[in-house]
Structure 1
Amino acid sequence: MNEVSNKFLNKVSLLIEEAKKNVKTAVNIAMVYTYFDIGRMIIEEEQNGDNRAEYGKYIIRNLSSFLTEHYGKGYSVDNLKLIRKTDSIGETVFPQFKNYPTTITGRKFYLSWSHYLKLMRISNIEKRHFYEIEAVKNDWSLSELKRQYDSSLYERLSLSKNKDEVMLLSQKGQIIERQQMR
């Protein structure tokens, strides 16, 4: 009986690992797009109400009860409020991801929902864009994104740059430094 080469076994193993990674990415992306659409639908429904603030609370409470009953955990009032805020994420364009789906408003998302939950908590738009860009370009895990944020990467780079360069950081990430290093 012929023994199967280690090279062949490793190639098959790599193929399976890559497929698992692709499935995980597809599920995460589908979840983000679904949440974006839910958030958009909540906003549209609220805007059709007479008393928006009270009507908005009513919508989110009822939607939370309905979704929890039908789909289980994950649809608390607090989570739905975060889902409603998805209009503040996914604004950065990455040309290398042309094949990613687009929402009806033209947005594309590149990270997991957990990444976006972290990003939505960053109130400074330039800072949020910077971390989104860096997380995508450097394939940061959620723990790496948190580590970089907690180490104040954006602030440290901002202190060492002039205002124009800081604005570039929020639009393109650390491209300038990478090009200079080559």
Structure 2
Amino acid sequence: MDRQFYEQIKHILETARQKAYTAANSAMVEAYWNIGRHIVERQGGEDRAEYGSGLIKELSAQMTKDFGKGFTIANLKNMRQFYLTFPNGYALRSELSWSHYRLLMRVENERARSFYLDECVKSRWSTRQLGRQISTLFYERLLSSKDKAGVASEIKKLEPERMPEDVIRDPYVLEFLGISPNADFYESDLESALITHLQKFLLELGRGFSFVARQKRFTVDGRHFRIDLVFYNYILKCFVLIDLKVGDLTHQDLGQMQMYVHYYERELMNEGDNPPIGIILCASKSESLVKYTLPENEKQIFASRYKLYLPSEEELLRELNREYSALENAVLPESTKLPPL
């Protein structure tokens, strides 16, 4: 087949996809700005805390019922703030996503915010690039630097550039379109196989485990996090959070699990629940590890009761190694062969 002919066909499809991504994103940003405008107008433009809180709470409950996820109280408050921060809807840029605008809203300096907005469009920054530029005071550094070109170009080395498909994988866009995120977006073949086995293994233990979610997403300060497996143990009356790491375990992994545990403890525990437990499973050729992350001040409870119903580190480690070896040594078709670790 002629290469030039194929490149023409490829360009047609890539252009069409880009238009589809841009249209979905632009529609979402416009809708959220208008929702924010209606909330502000309903409140009379005043920050009446009691009325405003009740209105948003009722709106969140009804919209969640009708449209699913994406309309939490926190997100509706962000839409309200979106309108207040960018009252001129005609100035909104279709190139920027809702995630971009959430980051921009956190910039208090109006001049800096306008600079980041313009530069984000011009340089096609991803949300990670924009977030890094804001957190490292790029605007202030650029003003005081003599090497402005060097400062401006460093972001390309530090964070990946934005790709068209990033828009359609954005959880906010998927929620807006009413599409459930596919776990395949976030799991490699090996991770997926191990997580599937561990999910089955824990449910078959028969010690009170009830499956809650796989690749459970939650958002903190505009950053999305995903927990590989979430269970609820109805004997212990607590959430059990499990994260799998294919490769060596780092301090960042441990800190991230502690954050997961604290988030569930503060935001998702129901009345009568015990504090959640985090489990990190590390599958590595060099050394496999299992680490429990306990809630604060709960070591005695864990020692006396949790061990009766949760698998021990030795049990989990033995099962993880057994499955890891089986998957590694399996004879698979070339198209599904697992990537090397």
**What's the TM-score, normalizing by structure 1?**
0.72
Q: Note if contact 1:32-1:109 (Cα within 8 Å) is conserved in structure 2.
A: no
Correspondence for 1:81: 77
Secondary structure at the counterpart of residue 111 of structure 2: helix
Q: Note if contact 1:89-1:119 (Cα within 8 Å) is conserved in structure 2.
A: no
CA–CA distance in structure 1, aligned partners of residues 144 and 42 of structure 2: 43
Secondary structure at the counterpart of residue 43 of structure 2: helix
Equivalence map 1:115-126=2 (5 Å): 115-126=100-111
CA–CA distance in structure 2, aligned partners of residues 118 and 108 of structure 1: 14
C-alpha change, 1:154 and 1:107, in structure 2 (3 Å) is: closer
Of 133, 137, 141 in structure 1, the residue corresponding to residue 118 of structure 2 is 133
Shift of 1:109: 2.8
**Pairing 1:30–2:27 present:** yes
Correspondence for 2:56: 60
CA–CA distance in structure 2, aligned partners of residues 107 and 148 of structure 1: 22
CA–CA distance in structure 2, aligned partners of residues 108 and 118 of structure 1: 14
Shift of 1:52: 2.8
CA–CA distance in structure 2, aligned partners of residues 48 and 27 of structure 1: 29
CA–CA distance in structure 2, aligned partners of residues 28 and 118 of structure 1: 16
Residues paired across the two proteins, number: 145
Q: Note if contact 1:68-1:74 (Cα within 8 Å) is conserved in structure 2.
A: yes
CA–CA distance in structure 2, aligned partners of residues 151 and 58 of structure 1: 37
For 1:134-166, what per-residue CA distance to the aligned partner results, in whole angstroms no more than 9, with x for missing partners?
A: 0011111112212322332111112248xxxxx
Q: Note if contact 1:68-1:76 (Cα within 8 Å) is conserved in structure 2.
A: yes
Q: Note if contact 1:39-1:80 (Cα within 8 Å) is conserved in structure 2.
A: yes
Equivalence map 1:6-21=2 (5 Å): 6-21=3-18
CA–CA distance in structure 2, aligned partners of residues 46 and 10 of structure 1: 54
For 1:81-111, what per-residue CA distance to the aligned partner results, in whole angstroms no more than 9, with x for missing partners?
A: 00001121376xxxxxxxxxxx4xx443331
Q: Which has the higher helix share?
A: 1
**Pairing 1:109–2:93 present:** yes
Identity %: 40
CA–CA distance in structure 1, aligned partners of residues 56 and 35 of structure 2: 11
Q: Which has the higher strand share?
A: 2
If asked which structure has higher relative contact order (CA below 8 Å, sep 6+), I would say: 1
Bigger Rg over Cα: 2
C-alpha change, 1:52 and 1:149, in structure 2 (3 Å) is: closer
CA–CA distance in structure 2, aligned partners of residues 52 and 81 of structure 1: 13
Q: Note if contact 1:90-1:108 (Cα within 8 Å) is conserved in structure 2.
A: no
Q: Note if contact 1:122-1:128 (Cα within 8 Å) is conserved in structure 2.
A: yes
**What's the TM-score, normalizing by structure 2?**
0.40
Structure 1 unaligned spans of 5+: 92-102, 162-173, 175-182
CA RMSD for the aligned pairs?
2.2
Q: Note if contact 1:32-1:112 (Cα within 8 Å) is conserved in structure 2.
A: yes
Instruction: Look up the equivalent residue of 2:29 and give its one-letter code.
Output: V
CA–CA distance in structure 1, aligned partners of residues 116 and 38 of structure 2: 27
